[in-house]
Amino acid sequence: MKDHASLHVHSSWEPIFQPIQALVDAIIQSLDDEECAPPKDSIFAAFQVDLATVRCVIVGQDPYPTPGNAMGLAFSLNPNVSKIPPSLKNIFTELNSDQGISTPTSGDLSSWMKSGVLLLNRVLTTRVGESTAHASLGWQSITDHIARELGKRNVVAVLWGQQAQELSSYFPLRVEGVHPSPLSAYRGFFGSHPFSRVNELLISTGRAPIDWSL
Q: Which residues are catalytic?
A: 62
- Whole-angstrom distance, CA of residue 141 vs CA of residue 17: 12
SS3 123: coil
Name the amino acid, one letter, at 208. Answer: A
Beta carbons of 165 and 173 less than 8 angstroms apart: no
- Whole-angstrom distance, CA of residue 47 vs CA of residue 50: 8
Q: How far is CA 204 from the centre of its chain?
A: 23
Beta carbons of 150 and 171 less than 8 angstroms apart: yes
- Whole-angstrom distance, CA of residue 113 vs CA of residue 137: 26
Cis upstream peptide for 38 (omega within 30°): yes
SS3 15: helix
Strands 174-177 and 56-60: what pairing? unpaired
